[in-house]
Protein backbone atom coordinates (compact mmCIF):
# COMPACT_ATOMS: atom_id res chain seq x y z
CA UNK A 1 0.00 0.00 0.00
CA UNK A 2 2.56 2.59 -0.91
CA UNK A 3 3.76 4.94 -3.59
CA UNK A 4 7.37 4.56 -4.56
CA UNK A 5 9.52 6.31 -7.13
CA UNK A 6 13.11 5.35 -7.84
CA UNK A 7 15.62 7.41 -9.84
CA UNK A 8 12.98 9.01 -12.05
CA UNK A 9 13.73 11.40 -14.89
CA UNK A 10 10.81 13.39 -16.20
CA UNK A 11 10.19 15.55 -19.23
CA UNK A 12 9.04 15.63 -22.81
CA UNK A 13 12.27 14.78 -24.64
CA UNK A 14 14.51 11.85 -23.86
CA UNK A 15 17.62 13.88 -24.60
CA UNK A 16 16.69 16.79 -22.32
CA UNK A 17 14.81 15.73 -19.18
CA UNK A 18 13.19 18.53 -17.19
CA UNK A 19 14.32 17.06 -13.88
CA UNK A 20 16.49 14.05 -13.07
CA UNK A 21 17.10 11.58 -10.28
CA UNK A 22 13.89 11.87 -8.27
CA UNK A 23 13.28 9.25 -5.62
CA UNK A 24 10.47 9.19 -3.07
CA UNK A 25 8.27 6.99 -0.96
CA UNK A 26 4.90 7.68 0.64
CA UNK A 27 2.66 5.62 2.94
CA UNK A 28 -1.14 5.58 3.30
CA UNK A 29 -2.22 8.53 5.41
CA UNK A 30 0.62 10.69 4.10
CA UNK A 31 -0.31 14.11 2.81
CA UNK A 32 2.59 15.39 0.77
CA UNK A 33 3.18 18.92 -0.53
CA UNK A 34 5.24 19.25 -3.69
CA UNK A 35 7.04 22.59 -3.58
CA UNK A 36 9.17 24.44 -6.10
CA UNK A 37 9.29 27.56 -8.26
CA UNK A 38 7.19 27.98 -11.40
CA UNK A 39 8.44 25.94 -14.34
CA UNK A 40 10.63 23.64 -12.26
CA UNK A 41 8.56 20.62 -13.28
CA UNK A 42 5.97 20.08 -10.54
CA UNK A 43 3.09 19.52 -12.94
CA UNK A 44 5.26 17.32 -15.13
CA UNK A 45 6.15 15.17 -12.13
CA UNK A 46 2.50 14.92 -11.06
CA UNK A 47 1.40 14.01 -14.58
CA UNK A 48 4.15 11.40 -14.77
CA UNK A 49 3.17 9.83 -11.45
CA UNK A 50 -0.46 9.80 -12.62
CA UNK A 51 0.57 7.99 -15.78
CA UNK A 52 -0.58 10.74 -18.14
CA UNK A 53 2.94 11.15 -19.39
CA UNK A 54 5.67 8.63 -20.10
CA UNK A 55 8.53 8.35 -17.69
CA UNK A 56 11.97 8.87 -19.24
CA UNK A 57 13.99 6.69 -16.89
CA UNK A 58 13.40 5.10 -13.51
CA UNK A 59 10.31 3.45 -12.14
CA UNK A 60 7.11 4.34 -10.31
CA UNK A 61 5.31 1.69 -8.30
CA UNK A 62 1.95 1.87 -6.59
CA UNK A 63 1.08 -1.03 -4.33
CA UNK A 64 4.02 -2.84 -5.86
CA UNK A 65 2.68 -2.52 -9.42
CA UNK A 66 4.86 -0.82 -12.02
CA UNK A 67 2.84 2.02 -13.52
CA UNK A 68 4.57 1.88 -16.91
CA UNK A 69 3.23 -1.61 -17.53
CA UNK A 70 -0.42 -0.88 -16.76
CA UNK A 71 -3.30 0.01 -19.08
CA UNK A 72 -5.19 3.26 -18.66
CA UNK A 73 -8.06 1.46 -16.93
CA UNK A 74 -5.72 -0.31 -14.49
CA UNK A 75 -4.00 3.01 -13.67
CA UNK A 76 -7.41 4.55 -13.07
CA UNK A 77 -7.95 2.22 -10.11
CA UNK A 78 -4.63 3.29 -8.53
CA UNK A 79 -4.38 7.07 -9.07
CA UNK A 80 -7.09 9.71 -9.27
CA UNK A 81 -6.57 13.33 -10.27
CA UNK A 82 -7.69 16.87 -9.67
CA UNK A 83 -6.19 19.20 -12.26
CA UNK A 84 -6.18 22.92 -13.00
CA UNK A 85 -7.93 22.30 -16.35
CA UNK A 86 -11.21 24.21 -16.55
CA UNK A 87 -14.30 22.04 -16.86
CA UNK A 88 -17.01 23.70 -18.88
CA UNK A 89 -19.96 21.40 -19.43
CA UNK A 90 -23.48 22.70 -19.88
CA UNK A 91 -26.28 20.93 -18.06
CA UNK A 92 -24.29 18.51 -15.92
CA UNK A 93 -25.46 18.15 -12.35
CA UNK A 94 -22.99 17.93 -9.49
CA UNK A 95 -24.12 14.39 -8.77
CA UNK A 96 -23.64 13.28 -12.39
CA UNK A 97 -20.18 14.84 -12.52
CA UNK A 98 -19.18 13.10 -9.29
CA UNK A 99 -20.59 9.82 -10.67
CA UNK A 100 -18.12 9.95 -13.57
CA UNK A 101 -15.51 8.99 -10.97
CA UNK A 102 -16.99 5.49 -11.01
CA UNK A 103 -16.02 5.02 -14.68
CA UNK A 104 -13.19 2.54 -14.07
CA UNK A 105 -15.70 0.19 -12.43
CA UNK A 106 -18.76 0.56 -14.67
CA UNK A 107 -19.58 -1.37 -17.86
CA UNK A 108 -19.59 -0.13 -21.43
CA UNK A 109 -22.77 1.91 -20.93
CA UNK A 110 -21.51 3.48 -17.71
CA UNK A 111 -24.60 2.48 -15.75
CA UNK A 112 -24.26 2.71 -11.98
CA UNK A 113 -25.13 -0.26 -9.78
CA UNK A 114 -26.05 -0.23 -6.09
CA UNK A 115 -22.44 -0.41 -4.93
CA UNK A 116 -21.57 2.59 -7.15
CA UNK A 117 -24.51 4.59 -5.75
CA UNK A 118 -23.41 3.75 -2.22
CA UNK A 119 -19.86 4.97 -2.84
CA UNK A 120 -21.17 8.18 -4.45
CA UNK A 121 -23.52 8.85 -1.54
CA UNK A 122 -20.76 8.28 0.99
CA UNK A 123 -18.39 10.65 -0.78
CA UNK A 124 -21.09 13.31 -1.11
CA UNK A 125 -21.85 13.20 2.58
CA UNK A 126 -18.17 13.05 3.56
CA UNK A 127 -17.56 16.34 1.74
CA UNK A 128 -20.95 17.80 2.83
CA UNK A 129 -22.07 18.27 -0.77
CA UNK A 130 -25.71 17.17 -0.27
CA UNK A 131 -27.12 20.71 -0.74
CA UNK A 132 -25.31 21.04 -4.08
CA UNK A 133 -25.94 17.57 -5.48
CA UNK A 134 -28.80 18.45 -7.83
CA UNK A 135 -27.43 21.85 -8.91
CA UNK A 136 -25.70 22.36 -12.25
CA UNK A 137 -21.90 22.36 -11.97
CA UNK A 138 -21.55 25.59 -13.96
CA UNK A 139 -23.59 27.47 -11.35
CA UNK A 140 -21.15 26.77 -8.51
CA UNK A 141 -18.45 29.03 -7.06
CA UNK A 142 -14.78 28.19 -7.62
CA UNK A 143 -14.45 26.76 -4.11
CA UNK A 144 -17.51 24.56 -4.53
CA UNK A 145 -16.31 23.38 -7.94
CA UNK A 146 -12.97 22.34 -6.48
CA UNK A 147 -14.75 20.31 -3.79
CA UNK A 148 -16.90 18.59 -6.42
CA UNK A 149 -13.80 17.68 -8.44
CA UNK A 150 -12.22 16.22 -5.31
CA UNK A 151 -15.41 14.22 -4.76
CA UNK A 152 -15.25 12.92 -8.33
CA UNK A 153 -11.66 11.78 -7.75
CA UNK A 154 -12.60 10.12 -4.42
CA UNK A 155 -15.29 8.05 -6.15
CA UNK A 156 -12.48 6.40 -8.08
CA UNK A 157 -11.46 4.80 -4.76
CA UNK A 158 -7.77 4.89 -5.50
CA UNK A 159 -4.97 4.53 -2.94
CA UNK A 160 -3.30 7.65 -4.38
CA UNK A 161 -4.94 11.06 -4.97
CA UNK A 162 -2.98 13.70 -6.89
CA UNK A 163 -3.92 17.38 -7.01
CA UNK A 164 -2.24 20.05 -9.12
CA UNK A 165 -2.36 23.35 -7.23
CA UNK A 166 -5.77 22.66 -5.70
CA UNK A 167 -5.96 26.04 -3.95
CA UNK A 168 -4.47 28.27 -6.65
CA UNK A 169 -7.65 30.17 -7.56
CA UNK A 170 -9.28 30.19 -4.15
CA UNK A 171 -9.68 32.88 -1.49
CA UNK A 172 -8.25 32.46 2.00
CA UNK A 173 -11.32 30.81 3.51
CA UNK A 174 -11.83 28.30 0.70
CA UNK A 175 -8.12 27.50 0.71
CA UNK A 176 -8.30 26.59 4.36
CA UNK A 177 -11.43 24.54 3.86
CA UNK A 178 -10.02 22.55 0.95
CA UNK A 179 -6.76 21.79 2.78
CA UNK A 180 -8.70 20.74 5.89
CA UNK A 181 -10.92 18.48 3.78
CA UNK A 182 -7.90 16.86 2.17
CA UNK A 183 -6.26 16.28 5.55
CA UNK A 184 -9.46 14.65 6.77
CA UNK A 185 -9.65 12.48 3.64
CA UNK A 186 -6.07 11.25 3.95
CA UNK A 187 -6.61 10.34 7.60
CA UNK A 188 -10.09 8.83 7.42
CA UNK A 189 -9.80 7.02 4.11
CA UNK A 190 -6.14 6.17 4.59
CA UNK A 191 -5.04 7.57 1.25
CA UNK A 192 -1.80 8.99 -0.04
CA UNK A 193 -2.42 12.59 -1.08
CA UNK A 194 0.14 14.34 -3.24
CA UNK A 195 -0.47 18.01 -4.08
CA UNK A 196 1.58 20.78 -5.60
CA UNK A 197 1.32 24.24 -4.07
CA UNK A 198 3.03 27.61 -3.73
CA UNK A 199 1.43 28.16 -0.33
CA UNK A 200 4.24 27.14 2.02
CA UNK A 201 2.27 28.13 5.13
CA UNK A 202 -0.55 25.75 4.16
CA UNK A 203 1.93 23.02 3.27
CA UNK A 204 3.54 23.28 6.71
CA UNK A 205 0.18 23.33 8.50
CA UNK A 206 -1.59 20.48 6.74
CA UNK A 207 1.03 18.24 5.09
CA UNK A 208 3.22 15.85 7.02
CA UNK A 209 5.82 15.73 4.26
CA UNK A 210 7.26 18.25 1.85
CA UNK A 211 8.95 17.22 -1.37
CA UNK A 212 10.96 20.14 -2.67
CA UNK A 213 12.22 20.49 -6.23
CA UNK A 214 15.06 22.98 -5.74
CA UNK A 215 16.42 25.34 -8.35
CA UNK A 216 19.69 23.44 -8.19
CA UNK A 217 17.69 20.47 -9.54
CA UNK A 218 17.89 18.40 -6.40
CA UNK A 219 14.89 16.62 -4.96
CA UNK A 220 14.69 17.03 -1.18
CA UNK A 221 12.26 15.46 1.27
CA UNK A 222 11.47 17.08 4.61
CA UNK A 223 9.36 15.14 7.12
CA UNK A 224 7.32 16.75 9.89
CA UNK A 225 9.50 17.00 13.04
CA UNK A 226 9.96 19.60 15.76
CA UNK A 227 11.89 21.89 13.39
CA UNK A 228 9.77 21.16 10.26
CA UNK A 229 9.35 24.82 9.41
CA UNK A 230 13.01 25.80 9.75
CA UNK A 231 14.08 22.81 7.70
CA UNK A 232 11.72 23.60 4.84
CA UNK A 233 12.72 27.24 4.95
CA UNK A 234 16.35 26.21 4.99
CA UNK A 235 15.96 24.11 1.85
CA UNK A 236 14.01 26.81 0.07
CA UNK A 237 15.99 29.79 1.31
CA UNK A 238 19.57 28.69 1.12
CA UNK A 239 18.96 27.72 -2.41
CA UNK A 240 16.84 30.73 -3.33
CA UNK B 1 -33.80 7.46 -20.26
CA UNK B 2 -34.94 8.72 -16.87
CA UNK B 3 -38.49 9.18 -15.59
CA UNK B 4 -38.42 12.88 -16.36
CA UNK B 5 -37.17 12.50 -19.93
CA UNK B 6 -39.12 9.49 -21.12
CA UNK B 7 -42.45 11.24 -21.89
CA UNK B 8 -40.62 13.95 -23.85
CA UNK B 9 -38.70 11.33 -25.80
CA UNK B 10 -41.86 9.36 -26.63
CA UNK B 11 -43.59 12.55 -27.72
CA UNK B 12 -40.70 13.29 -30.09
CA UNK B 13 -40.92 9.75 -31.46
CA UNK B 14 -44.58 10.26 -32.29
CA UNK B 15 -43.68 13.57 -33.92
CA UNK B 16 -41.03 11.79 -35.99
CA UNK B 17 -43.52 9.22 -37.27
CA UNK B 18 -45.95 12.03 -38.14
CA UNK B 19 -43.24 13.95 -39.99
CA UNK B 20 -42.30 10.78 -41.86
CA UNK B 21 -45.87 10.15 -43.00
CA UNK B 22 -46.23 13.81 -43.99
CA UNK B 23 -43.43 13.29 -46.53
CA UNK B 24 -45.42 10.51 -48.19
CA UNK B 25 -48.64 12.50 -48.25
CA UNK B 26 -47.43 15.89 -49.44
CA UNK B 27 -45.92 16.41 -52.85
CA UNK B 28 -46.53 17.96 -56.25
CA UNK B 29 -49.06 15.19 -57.00
CA UNK B 30 -51.77 14.79 -54.38
CA UNK B 31 -52.59 11.22 -53.45
CA UNK B 32 -55.23 10.31 -50.85
CA UNK B 33 -53.85 9.07 -47.50
CA UNK B 34 -56.00 5.91 -47.71
CA UNK B 35 -54.31 4.88 -50.97
CA UNK B 36 -50.88 5.62 -49.56
CA UNK B 37 -51.50 3.40 -46.55
CA UNK B 38 -52.85 0.68 -48.83
CA UNK B 39 -49.70 0.72 -50.97
CA UNK B 40 -47.43 0.70 -47.91
CA UNK B 41 -49.39 -2.22 -46.51
CA UNK B 42 -48.63 -4.18 -49.70
CA UNK B 43 -52.15 -3.81 -51.08
CA UNK B 44 -53.17 -3.02 -54.62
CA UNK B 45 -54.51 0.30 -55.96
CA UNK B 46 -55.95 1.20 -59.35
CA UNK B 47 -53.56 3.97 -60.22
CA UNK B 48 -50.19 2.46 -61.20
CA UNK B 49 -48.53 5.91 -61.42
CA UNK B 50 -49.45 6.70 -57.85
CA UNK B 51 -48.03 3.38 -56.75
CA UNK B 52 -44.75 4.21 -58.48
CA UNK B 53 -44.62 7.71 -57.04
CA UNK B 54 -45.11 6.35 -53.54
CA UNK B 55 -42.79 3.34 -53.66
CA UNK B 56 -40.07 4.56 -56.03
CA UNK B 57 -39.93 8.28 -55.30
CA UNK B 58 -41.49 9.33 -52.02
CA UNK B 59 -40.69 6.34 -49.80
CA UNK B 60 -36.94 6.10 -50.55
CA UNK B 61 -36.64 9.87 -50.19
CA UNK B 62 -38.54 9.82 -46.89
CA UNK B 63 -36.34 7.06 -45.52
CA UNK B 64 -33.22 8.87 -46.72
CA UNK B 65 -34.38 11.99 -44.88
CA UNK B 66 -34.80 10.08 -41.62
CA UNK B 67 -31.40 8.42 -42.02
CA UNK B 68 -29.68 11.68 -42.92
CA UNK B 69 -31.25 13.61 -40.04
CA UNK B 70 -30.45 10.96 -37.44
CA UNK B 71 -26.97 10.24 -38.80
CA UNK B 72 -25.78 13.82 -39.31
CA UNK B 73 -27.08 14.94 -35.92
CA UNK B 74 -25.43 12.14 -34.05
CA UNK B 75 -22.13 12.66 -35.88
CA UNK B 76 -22.30 16.34 -34.92
CA UNK B 77 -22.81 15.27 -31.31
CA UNK B 78 -19.70 13.11 -31.55
CA UNK B 79 -17.63 15.91 -33.04
CA UNK B 80 -18.74 18.33 -30.33
CA UNK B 81 -17.78 15.86 -27.61
CA UNK B 82 -14.47 15.04 -29.22
CA UNK B 83 -13.37 18.64 -29.78
CA UNK B 84 -15.19 19.94 -26.69
CA UNK B 85 -16.40 22.71 -28.94
CA UNK B 86 -20.00 23.76 -29.47
CA UNK B 87 -19.49 24.83 -33.08
CA UNK B 88 -17.90 21.59 -34.24
CA UNK B 89 -19.89 19.47 -36.63
CA UNK B 90 -19.40 17.36 -39.73
CA UNK B 91 -20.05 20.46 -41.84
CA UNK B 92 -17.39 22.57 -40.14
CA UNK B 93 -14.87 19.75 -40.21
CA UNK B 94 -14.62 19.62 -43.96
CA UNK B 95 -16.62 16.51 -44.78
CA UNK B 96 -19.00 18.28 -47.13
CA UNK B 97 -16.20 20.47 -48.52
CA UNK B 98 -14.29 17.31 -49.31
CA UNK B 99 -17.33 15.66 -50.84
CA UNK B 100 -17.95 18.76 -52.97
CA UNK B 101 -14.38 18.64 -54.19
CA UNK B 102 -14.74 14.98 -55.12
CA UNK B 103 -17.95 15.59 -57.03
CA UNK B 104 -16.58 18.76 -58.65
CA UNK B 105 -13.54 16.86 -59.85
CA UNK B 106 -15.74 14.17 -61.31
CA UNK B 107 -18.37 16.37 -62.97
CA UNK B 108 -16.47 19.54 -63.82
CA UNK B 109 -13.00 18.27 -64.53
CA UNK B 110 -14.66 15.35 -66.28
CA UNK B 111 -16.42 17.71 -68.68
CA UNK B 112 -13.24 19.71 -69.20
CA UNK B 113 -11.41 16.64 -70.36
CA UNK B 114 -14.31 15.77 -72.61
CA UNK B 115 -15.60 13.16 -70.20
CA UNK B 116 -18.73 11.47 -69.27
CA UNK B 117 -21.58 13.74 -68.38
CA UNK B 118 -24.88 11.94 -68.50
CA UNK B 119 -28.23 13.51 -67.89
CA UNK B 120 -29.12 11.58 -64.78
CA UNK B 121 -25.70 11.64 -63.25
CA UNK B 122 -26.95 13.11 -59.97
CA UNK B 123 -28.06 9.79 -58.63
CA UNK B 124 -25.30 7.72 -60.17
CA UNK B 125 -22.87 5.59 -58.24
CA UNK B 126 -19.86 7.45 -59.64
CA UNK B 127 -21.03 10.67 -57.98
CA UNK B 128 -21.56 8.81 -54.71
CA UNK B 129 -18.10 7.27 -54.88
CA UNK B 130 -16.44 10.59 -55.74
CA UNK B 131 -18.17 12.32 -52.83
CA UNK B 132 -17.21 9.55 -50.41
CA UNK B 133 -13.56 9.61 -51.44
CA UNK B 134 -13.36 13.39 -51.29
CA UNK B 135 -15.06 13.59 -47.89
CA UNK B 136 -12.81 10.95 -46.35
CA UNK B 137 -9.63 12.48 -47.77
CA UNK B 138 -10.29 16.02 -46.51
CA UNK B 139 -11.55 14.84 -43.17
CA UNK B 140 -8.42 12.73 -42.63
CA UNK B 141 -6.17 15.69 -43.49
CA UNK B 142 -8.06 17.85 -41.00
CA UNK B 143 -7.94 15.13 -38.41
CA UNK B 144 -4.19 14.58 -38.56
CA UNK B 145 -3.61 18.31 -38.28
CA UNK B 146 -5.84 18.42 -35.23
CA UNK B 147 -4.01 15.48 -33.66
CA UNK B 148 -0.74 17.34 -33.97
CA UNK B 149 -2.04 20.72 -32.85
CA UNK B 150 -4.26 19.66 -29.98
CA UNK B 151 -5.72 23.16 -30.10
CA UNK B 152 -9.37 23.45 -30.95
CA UNK B 153 -9.50 27.04 -32.16
CA UNK B 154 -6.44 26.65 -34.38
CA UNK B 155 -7.95 23.50 -35.76
CA UNK B 156 -11.27 25.12 -36.60
CA UNK B 157 -9.50 28.01 -38.29
CA UNK B 158 -7.42 25.60 -40.35
CA UNK B 159 -10.60 23.72 -41.24
CA UNK B 160 -12.10 27.02 -42.39
CA UNK B 161 -9.01 27.81 -44.49
CA UNK B 162 -9.00 24.37 -46.09
CA UNK B 163 -12.69 24.87 -46.85
CA UNK B 164 -11.91 28.25 -48.41
CA UNK B 165 -9.12 26.78 -50.49
CA UNK B 166 -11.39 24.01 -51.71
CA UNK B 167 -14.08 26.56 -52.57
CA UNK B 168 -11.58 28.47 -54.68
CA UNK B 169 -10.44 25.31 -56.40
CA UNK B 170 -14.04 24.46 -57.23
CA UNK B 171 -14.58 27.95 -58.68
CA UNK B 172 -11.62 27.43 -60.96
CA UNK B 173 -13.10 24.12 -62.07
CA UNK B 174 -16.48 25.78 -62.60
CA UNK B 175 -14.99 28.48 -64.83
CA UNK B 176 -13.48 25.96 -67.21
CA UNK B 177 -16.30 23.46 -67.38
CA UNK B 178 -19.28 23.18 -69.67
CA UNK B 179 -22.82 24.38 -68.91
CA UNK B 180 -24.40 20.98 -68.48
CA UNK B 181 -21.73 19.81 -66.04
CA UNK B 182 -22.02 23.09 -64.16
CA UNK B 183 -25.73 22.63 -63.78
CA UNK B 184 -25.30 19.07 -62.57
CA UNK B 185 -22.77 20.20 -60.02
CA UNK B 186 -24.89 23.08 -58.71
CA UNK B 187 -27.88 20.75 -58.43
CA UNK B 188 -25.76 18.36 -56.39
CA UNK B 189 -24.73 21.13 -53.97
CA UNK B 190 -28.42 21.86 -53.33
CA UNK B 191 -28.67 18.60 -51.45
CA UNK B 192 -31.63 16.36 -51.97
CA UNK B 193 -33.32 13.27 -50.64
CA UNK B 194 -35.58 12.79 -53.65
CA UNK B 195 -32.87 11.54 -56.02
CA UNK B 196 -32.00 8.62 -53.76
CA UNK B 197 -33.28 5.48 -55.46
CA UNK B 198 -34.86 2.53 -53.69
CA UNK B 199 -31.69 0.45 -54.20
CA UNK B 200 -29.44 3.24 -52.98
CA UNK B 201 -31.51 3.81 -49.86
CA UNK B 202 -30.81 0.21 -48.85
CA UNK B 203 -27.06 0.81 -49.03
CA UNK B 204 -27.48 4.12 -47.22
CA UNK B 205 -29.46 2.49 -44.42
CA UNK B 206 -26.77 -0.18 -44.11
CA UNK B 207 -24.05 2.45 -43.67
CA UNK B 208 -26.05 4.72 -41.38
CA UNK B 209 -27.29 1.72 -39.38
CA UNK B 210 -23.71 0.62 -38.82
CA UNK B 211 -22.60 4.13 -37.84
CA UNK B 212 -25.48 4.56 -35.40
CA UNK B 213 -24.94 1.08 -33.97
CA UNK B 214 -21.31 1.94 -33.26
CA UNK B 215 -22.33 5.26 -31.73
CA UNK B 216 -24.23 3.51 -28.95
CA UNK B 217 -20.91 2.10 -27.72
CA UNK B 218 -19.62 5.64 -27.41
CA UNK B 219 -21.95 7.09 -24.78
CA UNK B 220 -19.65 6.44 -21.81
CA UNK B 221 -16.44 7.50 -23.63
CA UNK B 222 -18.15 10.67 -24.87
CA UNK B 223 -19.26 11.55 -21.34
CA UNK B 224 -15.66 11.21 -20.19
CA UNK B 225 -14.27 13.25 -23.11
CA UNK B 226 -16.36 16.20 -21.89
CA UNK B 227 -13.96 16.41 -18.93
CA UNK B 228 -10.97 16.88 -21.24
CA UNK B 229 -8.27 14.47 -22.37
CA UNK B 230 -6.33 14.38 -19.09
CA UNK B 231 -9.32 13.63 -16.89
CA UNK B 232 -10.62 11.13 -19.43
CA UNK B 233 -7.29 9.28 -19.45
CA UNK B 234 -7.09 9.25 -15.67
CA UNK B 235 -10.62 7.84 -15.58
CA UNK B 236 -9.33 4.84 -17.49
CA UNK B 237 -10.28 5.83 -21.04
CA UNK B 238 -7.90 5.14 -23.92
CA UNK B 239 -8.40 8.60 -25.43
CA UNK B 240 -6.48 7.98 -28.63
CA UNK B 241 -8.40 4.84 -29.48
CA UNK B 242 -11.70 6.51 -28.62
CA UNK B 243 -10.97 9.44 -30.92
CA UNK B 244 -10.05 7.15 -33.79
CA UNK B 245 -13.28 5.25 -33.16
CA UNK B 246 -15.24 8.53 -33.27
CA UNK B 247 -13.52 9.58 -36.49
CA UNK B 248 -14.36 6.22 -37.99
CA UNK B 249 -18.07 6.37 -37.12
CA UNK B 250 -18.38 10.04 -38.11
CA UNK B 251 -16.74 9.40 -41.46
CA UNK B 252 -19.12 6.52 -42.12
CA UNK B 253 -22.17 8.55 -41.13
CA UNK B 254 -21.47 11.98 -42.56
CA UNK B 255 -19.48 10.62 -45.50
CA UNK B 256 -22.16 8.21 -46.69
CA UNK B 257 -25.01 10.67 -46.15
CA UNK B 258 -23.23 13.44 -48.03
CA UNK B 259 -22.36 11.02 -50.78
CA UNK B 260 -25.97 9.91 -51.29
CA UNK B 261 -27.86 13.10 -50.49
CA UNK B 262 -25.38 15.87 -51.19
CA UNK B 263 -24.36 18.48 -48.62
CA UNK B 264 -26.98 19.00 -45.92
CA UNK B 265 -25.78 21.96 -43.88
CA UNK B 266 -26.15 22.84 -40.20
CA UNK B 267 -28.17 19.78 -39.11
CA UNK B 268 -25.16 18.13 -37.46
CA UNK B 269 -24.13 21.37 -35.84
CA UNK B 270 -27.47 22.66 -34.56
CA UNK B 271 -29.50 19.59 -33.56
CA UNK B 272 -27.27 18.49 -30.62
CA UNK B 273 -27.83 21.93 -29.08
CA UNK B 274 -31.58 21.62 -29.47
CA UNK B 275 -31.39 18.21 -27.77
CA UNK B 276 -29.30 19.57 -24.88
CA UNK B 277 -31.67 22.49 -24.40
CA UNK B 278 -34.78 20.28 -24.47
CA UNK B 279 -33.49 17.47 -22.27
CA UNK B 280 -31.31 19.65 -20.02
CA UNK B 281 -28.59 17.06 -19.76
CA UNK B 282 -25.07 16.36 -20.95
CA UNK B 283 -25.42 12.60 -20.54
CA UNK B 284 -24.83 10.97 -23.93
CA UNK B 285 -26.92 7.94 -22.98
CA UNK B 286 -29.88 10.31 -23.35
CA UNK B 287 -28.42 12.71 -25.92
CA UNK B 288 -27.61 10.06 -28.55
CA UNK B 289 -31.21 8.83 -29.02
CA UNK B 290 -32.56 12.36 -28.48
CA UNK B 291 -30.41 13.98 -31.19
CA UNK B 292 -31.26 11.17 -33.60
CA UNK B 293 -35.00 11.63 -33.22
CA UNK B 294 -34.89 15.44 -33.31
CA UNK B 295 -32.57 15.35 -36.33
CA UNK B 296 -34.92 13.01 -38.16
CA UNK B 297 -37.93 15.25 -37.42
CA UNK B 298 -36.11 18.29 -38.77
CA UNK B 299 -34.86 16.71 -42.00
CA UNK B 300 -38.28 15.16 -42.66
CA UNK B 301 -39.92 18.56 -42.31
CA UNK B 302 -37.21 20.16 -44.45
CA UNK B 303 -37.82 17.53 -47.12
CA UNK B 304 -41.53 18.36 -47.07
CA UNK B 305 -40.75 22.06 -47.34
CA UNK B 306 -38.31 21.37 -50.19
CA UNK B 307 -40.97 19.61 -52.22
CA UNK B 308 -43.03 22.79 -51.88
CA UNK B 309 -46.40 21.02 -51.82
CA UNK B 310 -48.94 22.36 -54.29
CA UNK B 311 -46.34 23.96 -56.52
CA UNK B 312 -44.03 22.77 -59.28
CA UNK B 313 -40.91 24.07 -57.60
CA UNK B 314 -38.33 21.95 -55.83
CA UNK B 315 -36.33 23.93 -53.28
CA UNK B 316 -32.78 23.05 -52.25
CA UNK B 317 -32.83 21.06 -48.98
CA UNK B 318 -29.40 22.44 -48.10
CA UNK B 319 -30.74 25.98 -48.25
CA UNK B 320 -33.70 25.15 -46.01
CA UNK B 321 -31.60 23.41 -43.35
CA UNK B 322 -29.15 26.31 -43.42
CA UNK B 323 -31.92 28.89 -43.06
CA UNK B 324 -33.16 27.00 -40.01
CA UNK B 325 -29.74 26.16 -38.63
CA UNK B 326 -27.86 29.43 -38.90
CA UNK B 327 -30.07 31.27 -36.35
CA UNK B 328 -29.66 28.36 -33.94
CA UNK B 329 -25.88 28.64 -34.16
CA UNK B 330 -26.03 32.39 -33.63
CA UNK B 331 -28.26 31.78 -30.62
CA UNK B 332 -25.69 29.32 -29.19
CA UNK B 333 -22.86 31.82 -29.45
CA UNK B 334 -24.88 34.73 -28.08
CA UNK B 335 -26.07 32.64 -25.16
CA UNK B 336 -22.57 31.39 -24.38
CA UNK B 337 -21.09 34.88 -24.33
CA UNK B 338 -24.12 36.00 -22.32
CA UNK B 339 -24.49 39.10 -24.48
Per-residue pLDDT tens over the stretch A210-231: 999 988 889 988 888 888 888 8
Average pLDDT of span B19-29: 85
Tell whether the model's pLDDT for residue B25 goes beyond 60. yes
DSSP states along B123-188: GSHHHHHHHHHHHHHHHHHHHHHHHHH--HHHHHHHHHHHHHHHHHHHHHHHHHS-HHHHHHHHHH
Residue A154 CB partners (closer than 8 Å, separation 6+): A80, A101, A123, A126, A127, A161, A185, A189
Q: Do A156 and B281 touch (CB under 8 A)?
A: no
Q: How many residues are given for chain B?
A: 339
Tell whether the model's pLDDT for residue B93 goes beyond 70. no
B285 vs A contacts (CB less than 8 Å): 109-110
* DSSP type of residue B216: G
Q: What integer pLDDT is reported at residue B218 of this predicted model? A: 94
Tell whether the model's pLDDT for residue A96 goes beyond 80. yes
Average pLDDT of span B189-199: 86
Average pLDDT of span A158-162: 95
Average pLDDT of span A204-210: 92
Q: What is the pTM of this model?
A: 0.88
Torsion region of A4: left, alpha or beta (phi above 0 gives left; psi -120 to 50 gives alpha): beta
Domains of chain A: 1-78+159-240 (3.40.50.300), 86-157 (no CATH)
Tell me the range of A90-94, A232-236, B124-128 where mean pLDDT is highest: A90-94
Interface predicted TM-score of the whole assembly (ipTM), two decimals = 0.93
Residue from A70, A72, A156 to probe the interface with B (highest B Cβ count within 10 Å): A72
- Per residue in A185-199, pLDDT (tens digit) is 999 999 999 999 999
Tell whether the model's pLDDT for residue B113 goes beyond 70. no
- Is B35 at the interface with chain A, CB within 8 A? no
B222 vs A contacts (CB less than 8 Å): none
Tell whether the model's pLDDT for residue B268 goes beyond 80. yes
B283 vs A contacts (CB less than 8 Å): 92, 96
Tell whether the model's pLDDT for residue A239 goes beyond 70. no
- Is A79 at the interface with chain B, CB within 8 A? yes
- Per residue in B176-188, pLDDT (tens digit) is 887 888 888 888 8
**Closest Cα to residue B200, out of B61, B103, B309?**
B61
Q: Do A100 and B227 touch (CB under 8 A)?
A: yes
Domains of chain B: 6-78+88-337 (1.10.3470.10)
- Is A5 at the interface with chain B, CB within 8 A? no
Q: How far apart are CA A50 and CA A160, in angstroms?
A: 9
Total Cβ atoms within 10 A of residue A46: 23
Q: Do B235 and A156 touch (CB under 8 A)?
A: yes
Query: Min CA distance, B49 vs chain A (Å)?
Result: 48
Tell whether the model's pLDDT for residue B301 goes beyond 60. yes
Task: Write out the E strands in chain A.
Answer: 3-10, 19-26, 31-35, 57-62, 65-66, 79-82, 160-164, 192-196, 209-213, 219-223
Nearest to B276 among A87, A90, A109 (CB): A90
Q: Do A87 and B282 touch (CB under 8 A)?
A: no
Query: In whole angstroms, what separates CA A80 from the centre of its chain?
Result: 7
Amino acid sequence: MELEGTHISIGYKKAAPVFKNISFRAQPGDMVALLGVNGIGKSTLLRTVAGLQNIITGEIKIEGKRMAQLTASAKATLVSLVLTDKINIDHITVRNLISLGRSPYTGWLGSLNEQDQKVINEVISLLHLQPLASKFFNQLSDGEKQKVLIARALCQQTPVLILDEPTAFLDFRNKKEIMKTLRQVSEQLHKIILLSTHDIEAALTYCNKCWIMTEQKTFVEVIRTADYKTQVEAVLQTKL
Amino acid sequence: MSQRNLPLFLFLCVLMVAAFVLQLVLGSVSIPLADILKVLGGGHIENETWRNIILEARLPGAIAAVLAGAGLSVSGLQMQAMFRNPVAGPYVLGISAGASLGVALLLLAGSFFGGMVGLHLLSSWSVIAAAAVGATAIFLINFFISFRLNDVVAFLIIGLMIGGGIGALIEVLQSVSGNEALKQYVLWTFGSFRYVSSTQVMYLSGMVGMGIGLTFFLSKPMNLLLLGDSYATSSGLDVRKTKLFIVFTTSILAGSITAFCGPIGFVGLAVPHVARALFKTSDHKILIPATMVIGAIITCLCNVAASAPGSDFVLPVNAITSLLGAPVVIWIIVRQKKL
